[in-house]
Amino acid sequence: MQLHKSKLIENQAIIEYYAYIIRIIYYYMKGATCVYCQKPLEGRSDKIYCDVHCKSSHQYQKTKEGKAGFYSQVDRQLKLNRKLLKSYNKAGKATVRQSVLLNGGFNPNYFTHIWRNQKGDVYRFVYEFGFLKKEEAHATKFILVKWQDYMARSN
Q: Does 37 engage in binding with Zn ion (CB under 5 A)?
A: yes
- The residues that bridge with 115 in the sheet, in sequence order, are 123
| Smallest distance, Zn ion to C-beta of residue 55, A | 8
Nearer to Zn ion, 46 or 149 (CB): 46
Contacts of 112 (CB under 8 A, 6+ apart): 78, 125, 126, 127
CB of 103 to Zn ion, least distance (A): 48
CA 133, CA 68: separation in Å to the nearest integer?
A: 31
50 touches Zn ion (CB under 5 A): yes
In three-state secondary structure terms, 142 is strand
Q: How far apart are CA 71 and CA 126, in angstroms?
A: 16
Amino acid type, 133: K
For residue 108, which of 92, 121, 124 has the smallest C-alpha distance? 124
Is residue 34 near Zn ion by the rule CB under 5 A? yes
The answer to whether 33 and 45 are in contact (CB under 8 A) is: no
Interacting positions 52-81 with Zn ion (CB under 5 A): 54
Q: x-or-dash pattern for Zn ion, window 76-115, by CB under 5 A?
A: ----------------------------------------
* Residue 36 or 111 with smaller CB distance to Zn ion: 36
Task: Please tell me whether residue 15 binds Zn ion under the rule CB under 5 A.
Answer: no
* Residues near Zn ion, by CB under 5 A: 34, 36-37, 50, 54
